[in-house]
Chains A and B, each alone.
Chain A
Amino acid sequence: MVIRAGLRVSHSKFGKRFAPVSSAGRSELLLRLQLHSNPESLCLVRAALERATEVLHFSDPDSRAIVRSVDEALANVIRHAYKGRGGLPIEISCSRLWNTKDGGTPNGIEILLSDSGRAIDPKKLKGRPLDEVRPGGLGIHFMKQSMDVVEFHRKSGKNLLRMVKYLASQKPGAQGQGEE
């Protein structure tokens, strides 16, 4: 796994590699990870993200929610987009979001995942009803329950997933900030 830390400041949510979906505030790249589609890599990503969320002052439950969401997203890439094949590329970038409306207060974290696996049917990203007690189908539910924004796109042969979690005090509705 390759880890790069950086201070690239961007106003584009998805950078040059991703199609902009929305624009609110600006983002500052904290971490970029390049890994292979091996389940053994997941614990390394979780450890890196746990530290990143601590740096951004997320609460323990919110930190766990972010780590869980990224882990589930990566597991889905490995299991579904790459059909369990190892050694295939996945890229993760993690950025601090700034609220520009109040002069620049950090207000959340944005995580972008990219893979070159087979296209995923968006209809399958809804999760299953939770009143069914059966194995499987929980990962998408965890992500949607845990994050404030979960967006999926397919562009140039790549699956692109964008997830955002706002700091509790900065959530849309708390102070009228954010993008939704």
Chain B
Amino acid sequence: MQISARQSTVGTIFDVAGDIDLAHSPAMRKALLGEIKEKKTPKVFLNLKNVRYIDSSGIASLVEGLKASRDIGSRLILFALNPAVREVMELSRLQKIFEIYENEEQALAA
């Protein structure tokens, strides 16, 4: 898994690629919580376009990020989910809990 951050006018965008599994979810968790809890960025975006696979530990990291963002009144926004990631979100019944958009343009405008 690779994760890189870039800045937009409205917040920080994390571009994630590869598999978010037991081996790699700690790195995503660290990046997300650092941005939300330490930097207190008001809007954090997660670009999941190039994520091929996400397991329950990856979902747990996203939920931790969501809870942290709610705690400080910021927003965690996901976009560009492929079918494999969308399936897991639906299995977890989290697709309506997270803010999810089709693409970056829509996410940044939200």
CB proximity to B under 8 Å, residues A52-95: 60-61, 64, 67-68, 71-72, 75, 78-79
B-chain residues with CB within 8 Å of residue A103 when the two chains form the complex: none
Q: How far is the CA of A146 from the CA of B93 in the complex (A)?
A: 14
- The segment from A15-23, A35-43, A152-160, A171-179 that touches chain B is A35-43
Contact A135 B61 (CB under 8 A): yes
Q: How many residues of B contact A (CB 8 A)?
A: 24
Contact A134 B55 (CB under 8 A): no
CB proximity to A under 8 Å, residues B30-82: 53, 55-57, 59-61, 63-64, 66-67
Contact A139 B56 (CB under 8 A): yes
Q: How far is the CA of A42 from the CA of B94 in the complex (A)?
A: 24
Label chain B's interface by main secondary structure.
helix
Interface string of B15-29 (1 = CB under 8 A from A): 000010111000000
Q: Pick from B22, B66, B97: contact of A79, CB below 8 A.
A: B22
Q: Pick from A75, A78, A145: contact of B91, CB below 8 A.
A: A145
B-chain residues with CB within 8 Å of residue A43 when the two chains form the complex: 19, 21, 23
Label chain A's interface by main secondary structure.
helix
Given A130-B92, A145-B91, A78 and B64 contact (CB-CB distance below 8 Å):
no
Quick check: is A122 within 8 A (CB to CB) of the other chain? Answer: no
Q: Pick from B19, B55, B88, B93: contact of A75, CB below 8 A.
A: B55
Contact A138 B92 (CB under 8 A): yes
Residues of chain A at the chain B interface (Cβ within 8 Å): 39-40, 42-43, 46, 60-61, 64, 67-68, 71-72, 75, 78-79, 130-131, 133-136, 138-139, 141-142, 145-146
